[in-house]
Amino acid sequence: MGIIRTDQWLEEEIDRPLKICEKLKPYFKRQTPKDIYNQLVDFGMYRPSRSALENFDQLIEQKAWDKVDQLFNKYKQKWHGPDIPVFLFPVAQSGGFFFREVKSKAGVSFPDKMFLFLSNYDDPKEVEALLVHEYHHVCRLRMLGKRIEEYSLLDSIIIEGLAEYAVLKYCGREYLAAWCRMYKEKELLNFWEKYLKEQLNTKKHERKHDELLYGVGRLPNLLGYAVGYNIVERFYENNNYSTKLSFTNPALKYLENFYNLNKKSQ
C-alpha cells in the first residue's frame, strides 16, 4: 500500500472535501463521507481556504507524497510493520487539542490506515517525527489486537507515551512534541493523583476518556499525553529500549514500574 496519491484527488476536488471523502468510504466501515470528514477534521484535516490551497501547492512543489512514501517504507522495513494505506492532506490552520503542533503538522492512526496532515515539508525530520509517532500507533494497535471499545484510559496514555518515546529514539530530543516538556515532574505527579489515578479503567467510548487524555475545559492541556510520556520515559531509565517490545509490552508493565519508582521516592 504505502502512500495513496491524494495529491491527484486534491488537484480535482480540494474545494470539495466531501467529494474527496467519498473516495475514502472503502477504508471506513458504514460511514458517510460527512462522518469521515468530520472525524478527520477533529484531528487536523484542512477546511477549504486560501491557506489550504497554498499548503497544497507547497507540498506538491516539495514532492511531499514521494518523500512520505519513502519514509513509510523505511520504517515498515525497519520495524517489520504492517503494509497499510497512508493518506496525506493539507493541515487545518486553526489548532485544537488533537494537534501534534498547532498549525504545522498533525495526524491520526487506525489499525489499518494512517493520515498525515502537513503545511509544508520544510523540515524533513519533523515530518519523520510525525510519521514515527503515528506509525508506532499502527504497529502497537495491530500487535495488541484488541477491539477499539476494549481500550482504557491507561491503554491510551501509554500508547501516546510510547509513540513519542519512539520519536526520541529515532529523531532526537529536539523533535519531541511540546507536551513532553510542558510540565515539571512535580506537576505531573500531582496531576496523576488528582485526575488520572482513579480513572484508568475509563473506556475509550466514555466521554471522560477524551476529556482526561486531551485535557478538556479546566483540566491541564494534553494531560494524558504528558503523563503518559513521563511514565514511559521513567520506565526506560531502568530498562533497555526495544522497539519490538514497545509494540507488545502490556500497559500494566509501565504502570507497575511507575508505582515502584514512586514508592522508592516517598
For the stretch 31-59, pLDDT in tens is 999 999 999 999 999 999 999 999 999 99
| The C-alpha cell that represents 176 in the structure block | 519531541
Percentage of the chain lying above the pLDDT 70 cut: 95
Assess whether pLDDT exceeds 90 at residue 259. no
Instruction: Encode pLDDT of 154-202 as tens digits.
Output: 999 999 999 999 999 999 999 999 999 999 999 999 999 999 999 999 9
Q: Which of 81-90, 140-149, 187-196, 226-235 has the lowest mean pLDDT?
A: 140-149
Q: Are 231 and 254 in contact (CB under 8 A)?
A: yes
Indicate the helix (H) or strand (E) that contains 136: helix 124-144
Rounded alpha-carbon distances, angstroms, from residue 51 to 43, 119, 122: 18, 9, 16
Q: How confident is the model at residue 102 (pLDDT cuts 50, 70, 90)?
A: very low
Residue 266 is predicted with a pLDDT of: 60
Of 160, 86, 93, 84, nearest to 120 by C-alpha is 93
Q: How confident is the model at residue 100 (pLDDT cuts 50, 70, 90)?
A: very low
Residue 94 is predicted with a pLDDT of: 61
Greater model confidence, 101 or 256: 256
Instruction: Encode pLDDT of 75-89 as tens digits.
Output: 999 999 999 999 999
Assess whether pLDDT exceeds 70 at residue 97. no
Assess whether pLDDT exceeds 50 at residue 101. no
First-last CA distance in the chain: 51
Q: How confident is the model at residue 219 (pLDDT cuts 50, 70, 90)?
A: very high
pTM comes to 0.94
